[in-house]
Amino acid sequence: MAKKLFRIVLNGVVTWTENAYIAKRGDRAWLVAWRIAKNKGCIAPDSIEVLNMDDGDPIITIEDREDKLQSECECILFTNTYCQLFPDFTNDKKDQGFQFIYKGDSFSLG
């Protein structure tokens, strides 16, 4: 049986992933993503990539979105599987990716 793939279009760029969840304000993934951003001193991230290493210390990469504010974030795309948005992922489902969607961004998931 073929795996279901989610098609993601973000600002005109198309990518595919096996697993995707849209986190809204108050969802667990929303709270986790903003806690990571705050702990790293980022006011408005574009994306957060968490690579969980065998030694227990994750590698966290944050791309900043200097033209936005937290209040402008409409949702966060969460995935734990490889896609073009998070090319460093392994496929062991321990990695986490958060793509922040702000007012004015063009986004669809299907």
What tens digit of pLDDT does each residue of 18-70 get? 888 999 999 999 999 999 999 999 999 999 999 988 787 899 999 999 899 99
Q: What is the pTM of this model?
A: 0.89
The tally of domains found in the chain comes to 1
Contact 92, 82 (CB under 8 A): no
* pLDDT for 93 beyond 80: no
- 27 lies in which domain range? 18-105
Q: Specify if 110 maps to a domain.
A: no
> 17 has which bridge partners?
6
CA-to-CA distance for 68 and 103, rounded, in angstroms? 9
* Parallel/antiparallel/unpaired status of strands 21-23 and 96-102: unpaired
User: Quick one: what percent of the chain has pLDDT higher than 90?
Assistant: 57
Q: Specify if 10 maps to a domain.
A: no
Q: Specify if 7 maps to a domain.
A: no
Q: Mean pLDDT across the chain, nearest whole number?
A: 90
Q: Specify if 84 maps to a domain.
A: yes
Q: Specify if 61 maps to a domain.
A: yes
Contact 109, 23 (CB under 8 A): no
Q: Specify if 73 maps to a domain.
A: yes
Other residues' Cβ atoms within 10 Å of the Cβ of residue 72: 15
